[in-house]
Structure 1
Amino acid sequence: MIKILLLISLLPPRYLSISEGTVYAVGQLLCKGQPYAYEHVRIYEKNYVFRDSEWMETKTDQYGNFSMKVWGSDYPTVTPYVYVPNYCGSKLSVGRRCSSGGLQINIPASYITERHVPEKEFDIGSVELHNNDDSERLGLGYILWGVFAKTMECKDY
């Protein structure tokens, strides 16, 4: 027991404390050139072993634009990302539509502010979702094919 406590005491303070961060993410989403209107956009905190933590959810406006400012914390560092369930091009079947996966865009550390007011705006620009298989998935959610991270969502119409 004493050896374990000694080893823990040798860790840098960064690994013994909770980190906090604020992010401000904006962008426009398109589906086949048209606004991806009134669809969900979320900011998650990446957890490399357990299920990712949702920090915030919003919907795009009529033009496919979104804007989110959110503060959160995690141990030992914050690694947030923007996540969009991708329904673009999906087929309606028996009153339900299922996403064809999701788009994950990691927010660079330079856009994370350690205070409650964000200093920078992370603009993903205009992103076309049709036939877009790009994603920046990391951790066990990617390795274990979505066991720890959502890869498909369905909604009723």
Structure 2
Amino acid sequence: MKKIILLFLITTLYSNKSNAQEIKNELVSESQLKEVLETYTNSLIKKDSLAYFNLFNENPIPFVRIYNKNPQDGLIQKKNKIKADYYNEDYKKYFRAITKNGFTEKKTSTIIYKQDDYSATIDFDYSYWKEEKKINWGKETWGLIYKNRSWRITRVFYSMELEKDNPEPSMATKK
């Protein structure tokens, strides 16, 4: 009987240690993903191309902007360049465009992190601001891989709404 109780205690202790290790790994992973998002946002605002480019895996990276109807119609009328509901670009051109436009802040909210050992996604709402005025907003999702002891972005999809054409709904009406 003592052997059975001892075996039960050892199994329970090992199981609890294993669960604690899984929780610790999850927290470390999520904190690393939060750091990627923070570095991304800060590097755009600070115009730090080195920090920004180091977040990505090798080229090519799918970087796709999806337009909703209202902003797209306005852009087609103004620029006569966009003919589809989406636009492919690369992260280097995106960086140059954002830093050239003089955005002073990128806000993120409703952030969801999902990961396993070597892959992850980050989904969030975003908005770009210039001189305390919201310019555009939308939803963004990234795919990431864990490579060489760090997370690397492998794809970016985001929707874009122009605030002046389609104001962002308040948090209460977003649900």
Band the TM-score falls in, shorter-chain normalisation: 0.3 to 0.5
Larger Rg: 2
TM-score calculated relative to the size of structure 1: 0.33
User: Greater relative contact order (Cα 8 A, min sep 6): structure 1 or 2?
Assistant: 1
TM-score calculated relative to the size of structure 2: 0.31
